[in-house]
Structure 1
Amino acid sequence: MSSSIEIAEVADDELVAAFEHLIPQLSSSSPPPSREALAELVEGTDTVVFIARVDGAIVGSLTLAFYRIPTGIKAWIEDVVVDDAARGHGIGRRLNEAALDVARERGAKNVSLTSRPSREAANRLYQRIGFKIRETNLYRFDF
């Protein structure tokens, strides 16, 4: 099994199809992004879309978003998903480590993420990588 982590460079048919397959495994309430939305993510200066391949096929993705605030640059990991059939082989770890490397290279002060408590394996992974649980209140305003 040969695997690799790379940064998506174009929202082509392969990437669109991969997200159509992966996003339902991540969220039952959010549809996969359109080709146009994927293109904005891939081409954006404030987002980096990482993909994982096994034997040439896309089996996972992670989006790293950057934002500037008065005290510096921060980054946020979003929508980490590895295909059910490819889990347990270190792909999630490698996606996260690649994102952390890019965030460090771009001068981010830190990288944050959230994960539902029910995603026990993912939460264990984040802690093994070195993420720390923060004592904070997370608020969200839904439209």
Structure 2
Amino acid sequence: MTLVVFPLPSGVRGHVEDVVVDERMRGRGGARLLLQHMTDPGAAFGLPTVDLTSRPSRESALRLYEQVGFVRRDTNVLWFTPPPP
């Protein structure tokens, strides 16, 4: 898992990327500890929020994120893929 912290004109932002737990280690609380540890620096960096995105099909992951304190937002995530040069 990675916490990306970056400045924007509206303020500093945080985004969690690549939450991955080896399949053999799932269900043991490791992801919860990692997420809690990852969000703790938010206050130190002065982050108003820490964002995380996940596919709707990842139901167990979404439940975990909500249990840790992440809140689902009503949003549309849009992607743009530039054409090859």
What TM-score does the superposition give when structure 2 sets the normalisation length? 0.89
Match of 1:81 among 6, 11, 20: 20
The letter of the residue matching 1:73 is V
Report the equivalent of 1:65. Answer: 4
Q: Distance in 2 between matches of 1:69 and 1:111?
A: 14
Residue segments in structure 2 that go unaligned for 5+ positions in a row: none
Report the equivalent of 1:108. Answer: 47
Report the equivalent of 1:126. Answer: 65
Aligned residues: 82
Q: CA deviation at 1:83?
A: 0.3
Q: Secondary structure at the match of 1:108?
A: coil
Q: CA deviation at 1:111?
A: 0.3
Q: CA deviation at 1:89?
A: 0.7
Q: Distance in 2 between matches of 1:98 and 1:104?
A: 12
The letter of the residue matching 2:37 is A
Q: Distance in 1 between matches of 2:60 and 2:31?
A: 10
Match of 1:99 among 15, 33, 38: 38
- Are 2:74 and 1:135 equivalent residues in the alignment? yes
TM-align CA RMSD: 1.0
The letter of the residue matching 2:60 is A
Q: 4+ residue runs of structure 1 moved beyond 2 angstroms? A: none
The letter of the residue matching 2:34 is L
What TM-score does the superposition give when structure 1 sets the normalisation length? 0.55
Match of 1:90 among 26, 29, 33: 29
Q: CA deviation at 1:103?
A: 2.0
Q: Distance in 2 between matches of 1:108 and 1:130?
A: 15
Q: CA deviation at 1:123?
A: 0.5
Q: CA deviation at 1:87?
A: 0.4
The higher relative CO (CA closer than 8 Å, separation ≥ 6) is in 2
